[in-house]
Each structure stands twice: as structure tokens, then as C-alpha cells.
Amino acid sequence: MSIRRNRVLSAAVLGCVTLVGAVGCSTGQESSSGPVAKVDGKVSLTYLQKQGDQEYFVGEAAGAKAKAAELGIDLKVVNLGNDANKTVSEVQSAIARKSNGLIVVVPDPAVGPQVVQTAKDAGVALLTSDDQICATGPAPASCGKGDLVARVGFSGEQMGGEVGKRAAAEFKKAGWSAADTRIISAWKQDVTVCGDRIKGAKAAFAAAGGADVKNIDVATDNTPTGAQDKTAATLTANPGVKHWVVWGCNDENVQGSVTALQNAGVSPDDIDGVGLGAYLACKDWTSGKPSGMKAALFINGKDVGALAVQTMVDKLKNGKDFPVEAFAPTTMVDASTWQSTGMTCS
């Protein structure tokens, strides 16, 4: 999920769309996918998700389906897994089914230009959720603002900032010294929104007094196994470190890194892990066993799915411009507070 402006707008701000949480303002321009005709009859949408069996995206699909049922529209959800090639073929299939709008979470942003062009040629509305894509190149980070496809999700830098602040608070509470502490920043480094989150975490941690703690960037595939393997190699290359601060693009990265640390004999008391998602962190907290996962930022996929569907319908039925970015709310939770937020842990 690339955020150029780290701001959350209130529902009272004029000129903005407010659905679930705070949102970015509309440019008043057409989407980079091109002009789209209004739909007079029943709206048909296709929601194409990467990693559709991941708990966050399962929730996102549920939120999208619930909103579709509420609005009386047809919605088909497609699991793309991690297959970039499938993204393009499923976009073509959705267009062949006469979908009026496509909401896409791409497995790889490199397919962005092809997806955008395919939707544009068909006159189909295109919206991304969670991860950014660019109409003119494979890397959203180097894309001009006007070429970024409208996106619904979370503010990456804001989320990372919350993670960094909480990690700093845990670091101070533990009384660790910077000299024998290291930070593990774990993420898939070609995903722009992941980079935004890590950037936000680093900045907030440093601003809160942790500037002297050395950081180790760990490149992963955003899965628990990938993070665990890469962190295990990092431990081998960094002997003598007593305490570890861990954050990442998502709960998978943090859980994988924390698992690698604990498997290597590092006590949970010497691990300051702050997740992003909370859907895996809560499982550690319900196990009754000590865990290095000290807190996590709860991001509710249901809110994003519902917001994406509502945003698309507003465009197709009412001609309302897509906001550049629309943001859903987040909440920091830990072992003692997560249940009070109403979140479920399956």
C-alpha cells in the first residue's frame, strides 16, 4: 500500500470522499485508466487479489462482498496468488465477462502498464487497492503523480510511523542500550507501499530517541518463511547482538523474523517485535506462550474491501471522480488490548 502525502483528512474536509476512514482528495481528473462511461443498469465488478488466501485479503474480500450485497451489485473475487501473468489473463477474462469496473491488488507492480492499457482499451474503470501501480512503468516509486492509478488502502508512511513509535516505546521500556541492539527491517523491496512503511518506521523510531540503534535491512518475499530464512542468515552475520527490534511490511515479516530469533535462542524478552496487520500477532498472544511480538498495528481488510467497492460504484453510477488515494483507519493493539477492539483472530 506508495503514499506521497502522509496525511489523514477528517470527514469534515470539503472536496474529499469520506466512507470508512480518512481519504485523499480528488484531483477532478480522469483516472489514468482513461474515460469511463456511467452505468445506468446493474453494476458488475471484479476484485482481483494477490495472495487471496492470506487472512488480510480474506477479510478484504469479505468486506467487498458485504458492501456489494448492500449496494445490490454483482461482484466476482479472483485469487491471483503470486502469479503476475495470471493478473493480465484474469483482467482480460473480467473484461470478457462485461465487468464495468476492476479493482486490483497486483502480485507484481511490473504488470501495471499492461493492466492499465488493457482496461483503458476496453473502457473499463480501474482502481487499485493496497498496492500502487503505474500506467507508464513497472516501478510506482519512480512514476509521475498523474500516471499513478487511484488507490484505496492505508497510508504507508503513517502506518510505519505508528509501528516505529511503538517500537521505540518498547525499546525505552526495556532499558536496552543502542550498542548491543539492532533493528531488523524486513520487507519485499520492490513493493512501493512496503518501502513507505519501512521509511515511516525508521523515521518515527529515530525521532523518538532510537537514532543510535543500527538498522539491518532484510530483503524478503513478504512471507513468514521467507522472512524467517533471511533473518536466520542475518543472525549468523551479526554475532554478539543481545537485543533485537523487529518491524516489517506486514505481520508475516515480523512473525518470520521473530521466529528465527527465538529458534536461535534469543529470549522473547530480548525481542521487540511490532507487527503490521495483527492477524498473526494475535495468534501468538492467544497461545499463552511468551512471544517477541510485543504489539501490532491492526489493519482491517474488511474496511478496505468495502471502501474500494463503494468508491468504484460512486464512479460508475454517479460519475464521482476517484480520489487519488483513500485511506482506512488503523489501531495499535497488544496482548492486553486486541480483543477490546472487536478484532477476530482465526
Coil, strand or helix: which one is 208?
Answer: helix
In tens digits, the chain (346 residues) has pLDDT values of 333 333 332 332 223 333 333 333 333 334 455 678 889 999 999 999 999 998 889 999 999 999 999 999 999 999 999 999 999 999 999 999 999 999 999 999 999 999 999 999 999 999 999 999 999 999 988 899 899 999 999 888 999 999 999 999 999 999 999 999 999 999 999 888 899 999 999 999 999 999 999 999 999 999 999 999 999 999 999 999 999 999 999 999 999 999 999 999 999 999 999 999 999 999 999 988 999 999 999 988 999 999 999 999 999 999 999 999 888 889 999 999 999 988 888 7
Q: What is the pTM of this model?
A: 0.71
For residue 32, what pLDDT is reported?
Answer: 57
pLDDT of residue 33: 55
The DSSP line for 217-259 is: EEE--SSHHHHHHHHHHHHHHSTT--EEEEEESSHHHHHHHHH
3-class secondary-structure state, position 60: helix
> Do the Cβ atoms of 126 and 301 come closer than 8 Å?
no
pLDDT of 24: 37
Q: Please report the pLDDT score of residue 121 as a whole number.
A: 96
Degrees, nearest 5: CA angle 109-86-73: 90
First and final C-alpha spacing in the chain: 23
Comparing C-alpha atoms, which of 108, 111, 60 is closest to residue 306?
A: 60
Interatomic CA distance for residues 204 and 192, integer angstroms? 19
pLDDT score for 18 = 32
